[in-house]
Chain A
Amino acid sequence: MAEQKKVKIYSTPSCVYCKMAKEFFAQSNVEFEDVNVGVDQEAAQDMIKKSGQMGVPVIEINGQMVIGFDKERIMELLNLKK
């Protein structure tokens, strides 16, 4: 990858789509910051404010919010090859 974009995932430990998303990032060599909104209430509020909703995962890529494990959108934002 030419440039490493800033990726943050708001997740809960028991959320399977969060796990799938994190595995996908790992496989695609994408570094990411994992925020557990189950314990970090401040981060949870931040996520709700930024995404306008309460479902996880929410993935922030360079300031853009992706709701759910939307692989197509994530690949697009990270310029990953389909």
Chain B
Amino acid sequence: MLDLIIVGSSAAGAAAGIWAARRNLKFKIITIDTGGEVALSGEVSNYPGVIETNGFDLAKKFKEHLDYYKVDIQTDSDVKEIKKEGNVFIISGTQLGKNFEERSKVIVLATGSKSKHLNVPNEKEFYHKGVSYCTVCDGPLFKDKVVATIGGGNSALESAIMLSSIAKKVYLINKNPEFKGEKILIEKIKNLPNIEIINGALTQEIKGGNFVEKLVYEKEGRLNELNVEGVFIHIGMVPNSQMVPQDVRKNDLGEVEINTKCETSLLGFFAAGDVTNVPYKQIAIATGQGACAALSAISYLNSH
């Protein structure tokens, strides 16, 4: 049986893997891909020691570091369930359509988060038919079209800025009266003539035929329609925590609750990074937490 299984291999999982490898633990990483949300980030300019890079290249560096220590990484694996029987954790899921099961004494959960959906009518039906959660991926397909970005944080602001250079017009639909993102981005947006800001607007529905044609929003009790061909949704993230055992306590947002040692409410089950209730979701914080969770896991293994 393995000492440790790390679930996930983005910032937190990679760091946990490096620390575990240097302690010669018998362990593996089980993950969908190596990179996760880090790989999907655009420009990264706040990771200490690296003045400017992008998420994809940074994620590759993490992978190189794991490969240097010959870490066993089981990729393409969707973990469906983690349960504890006695003192053993059993992880099960599917890898490229086939079932797998693994056992370990300790778990470090580093599964991160994924884009939040609006949950409005037709959002699902128009996914990739005008609805997108990734402006950097799909944005270039909307050249000279009218589009909308939904959200008020940094990723929504960055989405609108990118789209303003591609699309004819960008509506920026923010449910709050003001933006939550950084001032520098807000100023930039205000100076871009083809972005129209609509604050205090709640998206109600997406309409169309084969592709998106309209967006319906409510503002001050009245419904309004916009003719748009693209809807880019950037309203935050939800944690990938659905597979954890019932005894692992989560908060209202579904984040796994941890203490300063990255311990959860279940003995032997540690968690790190964006899947947890750590207040700031940053790459630098997630790597630090990955190290913390690995060290706590090692300490637990030594005393049990």
Q: Is B245 an interface residue (CB 8 A)?
A: no
Q: Which residues of A contact B35 (CB under 8 A)?
A: 16, 20
CA distance A13 to B128 in the complex (A): 18
Which of B56, B96, B128 sits near A54, CB closer than 8 Å?
A: B128
CB distance from A4 to the nearest CB of B (A): 22
Q: Is B130 an interface residue (CB 8 A)?
A: yes
Question: Which B residues lie at the A interface, using CB under 8 A?
Answer: 33, 35, 39-40, 42, 55-56, 76, 96-98, 127-130, 132, 134, 136-141, 143, 210-211, 230
Q: Is A17 an interface residue (CB 8 A)?
A: yes
Q: Which residues of A contact B127 (CB under 8 A)?
A: 55
Q: Which residues of A contact B137 (CB under 8 A)?
A: 12, 14-18, 55-56
Q: Which residues of A contact B76 (CB under 8 A)?
A: 71-72
Q: Is A63 an interface residue (CB 8 A)?
A: no
From known contacts A14-B137, A14-B140, A37-B140, infer whether A54 and B211 are also in contact, taking CB-CB under 8 Å.
yes
Which of A44, A67, A72, A75 sits near B128, CB closer than 8 Å?
A: A67
CA distance A71 to B96 in the complex (A): 8
Which of B55, B130, B140, B211 sits near A16, CB closer than 8 Å?
A: B55
Which of B96, B130, B210, B211 sits near A72, CB closer than 8 Å?
A: B96
CB distance from A82 to the nearest CB of B (A): 5
CA distance A36 to B137 in the complex (A): 11
- Cβ of B56 and Cβ of A38 under 8 Å apart? no
CA distance A56 to B136 in the complex (A): 10
Complex: chain B residue closest to A55, CB-CB: B128
From known contacts A54-B130, A54-B211, infer whether A41 and B138 are also in contact, taking CB-CB under 8 Å.
no
The residue in B98, B128, B139 that gathers the most chain A C-beta atoms within 10 A of its C-beta is B128
Which positions 16-45 of chain A face chain B at CB distance < 8 Å? Answer: 16-20, 37-39, 41, 44
CB distance from B125 to the nearest CB of A (A): 11
- Cβ of A54 and Cβ of B129 under 8 Å apart? yes
- Cβ of B129 and Cβ of A72 under 8 Å apart? no
Q: Which residues of A contact B132 (CB under 8 A)?
A: 54-55
CA distance A16 to B57 in the complex (A): 10
